[in-house]
Structure 1
Amino acid sequence: MFKLIYMKADYEPWWQFEGWESNIVSINEYETEEQLNDGLNTILEKFRAKYEHEASREDKYYAFWTDAECEFCEACDDDLQIYHGIIIEK
């Protein structure tokens, strides 16, 4: 079983801070690696067209963001960048 996890948070997906699962927007499951790669390519193409910035790590974490998408953090009294993260689980 293969999974593509889409999360949205104020940190990149590779950090996976405690409770990161509460930021999951969707999970797509695939039976084969070929189906996973097709699904990943579709999501990457969509996100690359929508977000101006991209970063990745370890060929299994992808982060996308745009400078205009921030949320105010009262605890830190500052704006926090919002990231759209993709995690691959094999």
Structure 2
Amino acid sequence: MHEIIYMRTDYEPWWMLDGWEEKIMTRHEFSSPEKARSYLEGLKDDFSRRFPNQKQKNHAFTCYWNEEETEYCEDCEEDLQIFHGLIWLVNGKPNISF
């Protein structure tokens, strides 16, 4: 099973820190890699138009951000950058190759 996940958080998606699944905004499942890839490419096109900054790690993780989008962290007592992350999972694990 292939999953394409969109998460919004204050760290890049490849860290997958404890509780990362609580940051998931949308999750879509696909039976084939072709359908998952097509959906992911559509998201990447959309996010590339909306956010000026982008970074990719392996094929599984891409994050986008706008430097003006921050949220205040009471525990840290500072503003943290917000990242919009896309993750491609295959059978629950990051898809690091095609």
Residue identity (%): 34
Runs of 4+ in 1 over 4 A off after TM superposition: none
State the match for 2:94 in structure 1. Answer: none
Deviations along 1:8-49, one digit per CA (max 9) or x if unpaired, are 000000001101110000101111111011101100000000
Tell me how far apart the structure 2 counterparts of residues 73 and 40 of structure 1 sit (CA, whole Å). Answer: 30
Q: CA deviation at 1:59?
A: 1.1
State the match for 1:44 in structure 2. Answer: 44
- The root-mean-square deviation of aligned C-alpha atoms, in Å, is 0.7
Q: Which amino acid aligns with 1:31?
A: S
Tell me how far apart the structure 2 counterparts of residues 89 and 40 of structure 1 sit (CA, whole Å). Answer: 11
Tell me how far apart the structure 1 counterparts of residues 83 and 16 of structure 2 sit (CA, whole Å). Answer: 13
State the match for 1:66 in structure 2. Answer: 66
Asked if residue 21 in structure 1 is aligned to residue 21 in structure 2, the reply is yes
TM-score scaled by structure 1? 0.96
SS at match of 1:75: coil
Q: Which amino acid aligns with 2:58?
A: E
State the match for 1:81 in structure 2. Answer: 81
Q: CA deviation at 1:83?
A: 0.4
SS at match of 1:89: strand
Listed as ranges, the gaps of 5+ residues in structure 1 are none
Listed as ranges, the gaps of 5+ residues in structure 2 are 91-98
The count of aligned residue pairs is 90
Tell me how far apart the structure 1 counterparts of residues 77 and 32 of structure 2 sit (CA, whole Å). Answer: 45
Tell me how far apart the structure 1 counterparts of residues 19 and 74 of structure 2 sit (CA, whole Å). Answer: 20
Tell me how far apart the structure 2 counterparts of residues 29 and 76 of structure 1 sit (CA, whole Å). Answer: 35
